[in-house]
A and B are shown apart, each in its own frame.
Chain A
Amino acid sequence: MEFPEQYGKENIMKGIAASPGIAIGNAFLFTKIIPTIIERTLVLDEVETEISRLQTALFRSQKELKKILLFAEQKLGDRTKILEAQVMVLEDPILTATLFNRIRAELKNAEVIVSDEIQKYQTLMLGAHDEYMHERAHDMDDLKHRIIRNLQEQKLISKIESSSIIISHNLTSADTIILSRNNILAYVTESGGITSHAALFARSLNLPAVVGLKDITRKSQYGDTLIVDGYAGTVIINPSEKCINDYEIKRKAYKKHEEKLAGLRELPAETSDGKRVELAANIDNEEEIEFALLQGAEGVGLFRTENMLVGSDSLPTEEEQCNVYKKIAERLYPHKLVIRTFDVGGDKIAPNTIEEANPFLGWRGIRVSLDDLEVFLPQLRALLRASTRKNIYLLLPMVSSLEEVRAVKTILHKLKEEFHSTRTRFDKNLQLGIMIEVPSAVLLADELAKEVDFFSVGTNDLTQYLLAVDRGNPFVSNLFTEFHPAVLRALHQVISSAHKVGKWVSVCGAMASNAAATKLLVGLGFDSLSVEPTMLPEIKKIIRGISYKEARGIATTALQFTTAKEVEQYLNGVLKKEFPSIAEQRL
């Protein structure tokens, strides 16, 4: 059903679907007001008053920032480094002294001096080669305008009417916090991707959002009626009445569906004949925890720690990591937090020095960690120290041999001994698991199962390595399928090897989040599925809708096929029969 097609294309804009939901409301164009500066020469008498005025403005700016920081920590658990830098600069005694002295010496008003002085530093920052410095220059813009705005005693933001849909070029963390105090229906931004602040924020508030919508600020005006479809990533400007009615119906239907799924949150992921499957979430950072829990996650089956390396200016210290791990573990308690150690290629750890012809078959995952103990040790230490609640599990990526596992165990043993002697507390029974994604690990599953406490199957990479297919390569990407018999047999073998010696197995790749695969995975015997948070309710619904007996039957049948096509057709049929609405969307 393609509603937009019926209404003529000129009103419809397509962006990136950042947060699900449908909103119908009025556009509110949110623009950052850049204060205008009028230069004024001072008479000697006015100097001290002017300095006083600046002091007050600085003080107000400080208060504002500290309030925002506090709010950010509480609401979003955000590590707002940007705002912290601004607070530090406001408290810079050299800067403050320079500003006051310049007012005295140059006899100009504070706005001009502030603007000029901060601009000097911004020019230096912009002169640097890296992205990071350019961002800091933008932060200084923010700060500069904040001080000037306070000098001019302008209000931070005007009242936003309820049933407003915010349209903006961009939304920074500071903006979203201010806007959250008003009753807003949806967010639409020109820039940003699915992990942008507007997107994350909207998802945590359960509001629809569309980002990356070029020119929306030009094409839409204050007061325009808008339909925001956060599922499809479209925005319709000044829709016809028929269009509005149709979307109202769509909105109500989706709302009902979401509510039904939300009602599942408290119920366990259990088959009709009582087999319990652990349904956990995959997360990239601590900001995603709240949403995962909202969706009913029983813990985190995969915490991709390498995301702490992406976009940050440097490797996080042991202390910083420990704080993050501890915080998340505490929030998830008593459920599990499975932390996977940095799974990156060498190019991330040592940029500019690594060039591999075949990075996928190269220096990454556990190999990098074992070679670069400077990075690995702080992570292991942080993890151990954070494990005092006894719900943290350690997971190693890209394991291909027993030697790797034993090397890690040796390191852990030494660390534990050290902690023992320094009386540092940690979980003595910390469980160690490995990702099964390299084929050699599948073939050595029996031996590996004896060395570790659990397996987590990474179906994405496992499938690529097994089928020798790069799913990003357009020439062969159609050959990629997790439903290839080789993959199914590999899964079967891995589970069997683990269960033989009483170890548990999880699956965390995209296959786990694929509703078409759920019955199969349950039937194969996986103890745990770690899933993208948005899919949690649907997967749970499927698990609760079948018996383990039936699921086993499905797995047994699927394992007998010798081509991927047969497997897929079989599973399509199974899914369509019972969940036609989901089948329509997923297959």
Chain B
Amino acid sequence: MIEKEITIRNRAGMHTRPAASIVKLASKFKSEFMMYKDGMEINGKSIIGVMSLAAEQGATLFLRFTGDDEADAARELIDYFERGFDEPS
């Protein structure tokens, strides 16, 4: 299991576009990917879930990866978060 705390970097926050990208990316891997924010637990492979996190710039999220390919999943997704979803900050 891999866990990481990350902060939302980009100006627009986790709106529909990065939400869709996150789900697409996470669904590539077999590992389970869960996100936690303010006591909510959201499955990172569910678009409606990720969208409703409504994470704005500066928000802190807790990520958890569980499974055989958790290292790869964690690396790619954490990197995507840290790149600010490739959007301006």
Q: Footprint of B on A, CB under 8 Å?
A: 81, 84-85, 88-89, 91-95, 118, 121-122, 124-125, 127-130, 132-133, 136, 140, 313-315, 317, 350, 374-375
Contact = CB atoms under 8 A, between A and B. Distances in A.
B46 A136 contact: no
A313 B15 contact: yes
A315 B87 CA distance: 8
Interface in B40-65: 40, 43, 45-49, 51-54, 56
Given A93-B45, A94-B46, A125 B52 contact: yes
A94 B54 CA distance: 18
B46 A95 contact: yes
Contacts of B48: 89, 92, 95, 118, 121, 140
B54 A127 contact: yes
8 contacts: A88-B47, A92-B46, A92-B48, A95-B47, A127-B54, A132-B15, A314-B87, A315-B87
Given A124-B40, A314-B11, A375-B88, A136 B17 contact: no
B7 interface: no
B56 to A, nearest CB: 7
B66 interface: no
B54 A124 contact: yes
A1 to B, nearest CB: 50
Q: Ordered nearest first, which 3 A-B pairs have the shortest CB separation?
A: A314-B12, A94-B46, A128-B54
A92 B16 CA distance: 14
A89 B56 contact: no
A128 B86 CA distance: 23
A140 B47 CA distance: 12
Contact of B16 (A81, A94, A124, A374): A81
A95 B43 CA distance: 10
A313 B47 contact: no
Contacts of A375: 88
B52 A121 contact: yes
Given A124-B52, A133-B54, A374-B88, A315 B12 contact: yes
Contacts of B53: 124
A261 to B, nearest CB: 42
Interface string B6-36: 0000111001110010010000000000000
A94 B45 contact: yes
Contacts of B12: 313-315
The residue in A84, A127, A314, A374 that gathers the most chain B C-beta atoms within 10 A of its C-beta is A314
Which bracket fits the contact residues of B? 20 to 34
A129 B56 contact: yes
Main secondary structure of the interface of A (DSSP, over half): helix
B33 to A, nearest CB: 11
Nearest to A132: B15
Contacts of A89: 47-48, 51
A315 B88 contact: yes
B15 A314 contact: yes
Contacts of A315: 11-12, 87-88
Given A92-B46, A124-B53, A129-B56, A136 B16 contact: yes
Given A124-B40, A124-B54, A129-B56, A314 B49 contact: no
Contacts of B88: 314-315, 374-375
Nearest to B16: A85
A125 B12 CA distance: 15
Contacts of A127: 54
A362 to B, nearest CB: 20
A110 to B, nearest CB: 17
Contact of A130 (B10, B16, B20, B56): B56
B17 A314 contact: yes
Nearest to A137: B52
Contacts of A88: 20, 47
The residue in A84, A88, A118 that gathers the most chain B C-beta atoms within 10 A of its C-beta is A88
Nearest to B43: A94
B49 to A, nearest CB: 7
B19 to A, nearest CB: 9
Nearest to B51: A136
A93 B86 CA distance: 26
Contacts of B46: 92-95
A127 B51 CA distance: 12
Nearest to B89: A374
Nearest to B85: A314
Contacts of B15: 132, 313-314
Contacts of B23: 92
A130 B15 CA distance: 11
B20 A94 contact: no
A263 B10 CA distance: 51
Contacts of A350: 11
B47 A125 contact: no
Contacts of A130: 54, 56
A102 to B, nearest CB: 14
B49 A121 contact: yes
A173 to B, nearest CB: 16
A88 to B, nearest CB: 5
The residue in A93, A94, A129 that gathers the most chain B C-beta atoms within 10 A of its C-beta is A94
A89 B56 CA distance: 21
Nearest to A124: B52
A127 B56 CA distance: 13
